[in-house]
Structures are given as C-alpha cells and as structure tokens.
Amino acid sequence: MRMDFIRRYVITVLGALVIGWAGCAQAVNTGGFSNTMGGDSYPAKTVSTLAELKSAVAAGSHHIIVRGTIYGGPSLTTLTFASTRNNNTTVEGERGGQAVLENIQLKFDGEKLALGTNVENIKVSNITFYGNISDLQHLPTQVYGTANNAGINYEGVSLRRVTNAYITHCTFYNTSDDLLSVTLSSDYVTLSFNHFYFSRSWAYMSPDPVWNWVGSYTDLAGERLAMVIGANSSDSYVATGALHVTVHHNWFGPYMRGRPLFRGWVHLYSNYFDNHPALSGSRTANDGHRYPLQQYNAIQINSGSVVVSESNYFYHTNNTNNISTDSSGNIYKFYERNNVYNNTTGSSASGSNFGTSPVGYSYTITAASRVPDFVQRNAGPQ
C-alpha cells in the first residue's frame, strides 16, 4: 500500500482504543468512517449500454458514468472489480437522477488478493439498482451452492474485502438477496443518503417462488432484506477489528421485512425507518406453505458488533431493535440516544445511553424529529 494513500485513524471507542487504516486518493468528509472520492479525478467514461459498461469495467476505467437505463438481461449480470487496478474507482449516474442498473450487481471483491491487501477507495453514487420481478420469477429454483444460484447472490452493491468505500445517493429495491452487503473484513465504509425499499408488487408477487438461500427454503416475496454488515460471527468487528461502517441519512422502507443486520462497528445516525403501511397476515407460496408478511425487525444487533444509534426515526416498525446473535455467549454492545419511536410494535431492546460521541470524525446530526421530511427529500439519486 503506497504511503501517500494512507491515513491513520485513532478512534476512542467507548473506552477502548481502536486503530484503523483507510486509504484515500482524495480526502473528503463523508460524515462517516470513509474519506474517499474514489476515482472522481480520473477522466470519465460515459456508458449507456451493457456492452459499453462491461467494456469499461474490463478496461479498468476508474471513472464510469452511467447514462439512462442499462438492463443486465433475464439471467442477471454481475460486474466484478477484483484487482488492485480497480483501486480509486467511481461508478456514478449522470446528473439528473435517471441512471438505472436493472438486473445488474456491482461486486467489489478483494478476497482473491494477497492476505492484507484489499480493493481500496471505491465510490458508487447517483444510481438506482433494482431487479425485474418477472425475470426473477422465471429463474429456475435457486439453491445456494449449486449452479442455480444467480438469484441467491444478487444484490445491488456487494463490498467484500474493500477498504474505504462511499455509497451515496443511490436507490436500491427489489433484489433477491440483501439489497447491499459489507462483508469479509471490509473496513471504513460510509453509506449515506440512500433509499432501500421493496415494492408492494414484490411483497405480493404471484407466483411466489421458493428458493434455498442458506440451507432452508423460503419464499422470494419474503426475502425483503435491506443489508448485512459482516457475514457471520467470524466476520465481525470483534473477530477481525474491521467493519467500521457509518450509516447516515438513509431511508429504509417501505415494505422491508427485516434488517439491516449489524456485526460491525456501526455508527447509525439520522436514518428514517419507514414501515408504513405495515403488512400483516401471511400468503401462500408455490410450495403450498404460508409465509408471514409482517416485518420481523428494523435493525438486528448481532454477534461481535458495536452499534451506536442516535437521532434515528422509527415509524410503524416491528421488533425495532432486535438482539439476535449467531449463538449464545456471542458478545455485542448497543448504545443509543435521541431516537424517536412512533407507533412501533412488538418488542425492542433499549441501548445504553452515551455522552461524548465515540467516533473520531466530524459529522452533522439531523434532529430525529426532522429526519422523515429531510431524508425523504434528499435520499436517492439527484
């Protein structure tokens, strides 16, 4: 790693000293752990077709601008950035908010690099990512670990062994796995001003296929999950010292069934969790079984995590703060202050209060009472 791309963070984390590293080609205050502008300073390559987009990725373009809607085909397309030559890369939509990637996943993946080397300095902005419901319904039954797993692995953006990433002003909806993931010891990530949701058409799709994601079958319509930070208890903040992620000014909902799920060191502030109208009851899927429609949690605090939640607004959410570790005895810490819970249902854990902010970066809180209006007006592509 070149020293001119290195910035050292010394962060006091609720009494424990944590030292982390983040590379930066251009420094910027993202209001969070990351500090990169990706490849904004490189010459831009504008693409408007799938062939042009694939070509730009294959050529290692550092600054890609998406114009209009690009369709990834009925079998889905994953574009993978897996080399250090992909460091300092921006993929952004053209100004005006009309850039769309349909059936296309952007996968930033350093897992095949030498140990200790990650893909670095990634920015994705101003793009709408979504899955075509009809295409997903017509895929063969998807089973994890088999040749039929395109839908199992399909998200909008996947960050795997990535250091310093900034995902901002995007919309994610109707993808068949989580909408977004941050895993495999990725570190120093900021997710801001994004909209994560599912459509009513997704929640009530007919036919409703049944797939096997991780060892058990469930219905596609019920796979309405926002994001996961940390893949399992071995891929957590406590286990790796990584997964520092800031989540701020995002809009989660409507029609979200569960998550985000946190196994990282997560600073969650000024987000709007919107579960209105709340779904209830159940529906019958292709296997003849009935599956619940109701939201099972808004946020999930899991193994090896530190979650600091402040000035968020929860509206009609169910089981809002859910503690659900991978196995008994797994440790976690949950802190909160100044959140608003409006018409919430079910059970919800209460976090410990805290005083001085435990993060080492500057950020601007939007008071929770103002969050619904402010976030709805500003989240998503511009």
Q: Which residues pair with residue 246 across a beta bridge?
A: 190, 267
pLDDT tens per residue across span 271-294: 999 999 999 999 999 999 999 999
> What average pLDDT is seen over the chain?
93
pLDDT at 8 over 70: no
Q: What is the mean pLDDT of residues 116-130?
A: 98
Please report the pLDDT score of residue 94 as a whole number.
98
Please report the pLDDT score of residue 27 as a whole number.
73
Q: What is the mean pLDDT of residues 316-342?
A: 97
Task: Identify the helix (H) or strand (E) that includes residue 135.
Answer: helix 133-137
Tell me whether residue 2 is exposed, middle or buried, using C-beta atoms within 10 angstroms of its C-beta: 0 to 12, 13 to 18, 19 or more.
exposed
Q: What is the mean pLDDT of residues 102-110?
A: 98
Please report the pLDDT score of residue 62 as a whole number.
98
Tell me whether residue 280 is exposed, middle or buried, using C-beta atoms within 10 angstroms of its C-beta: 0 to 12, 13 to 18, 19 or more.
exposed
Please report the pLDDT score of residue 193 as a whole number.
98
pLDDT at 10 over 60: no
pLDDT at 157 over 80: yes
Could you tell me the pTM of the whole model?
A: 0.93
Please report the pLDDT score of residue 337 as a whole number.
98
For 55, the 3-state DSSP assignment is helix
The architecture that CATH gives domain 27-378 is 3 Solenoid (2.160)
Please report the pLDDT score of residue 26 as a whole number.
62
Domain boundaries, the chain: 27-378
CA 368 – CA 374 distance, rounded (Å): 10
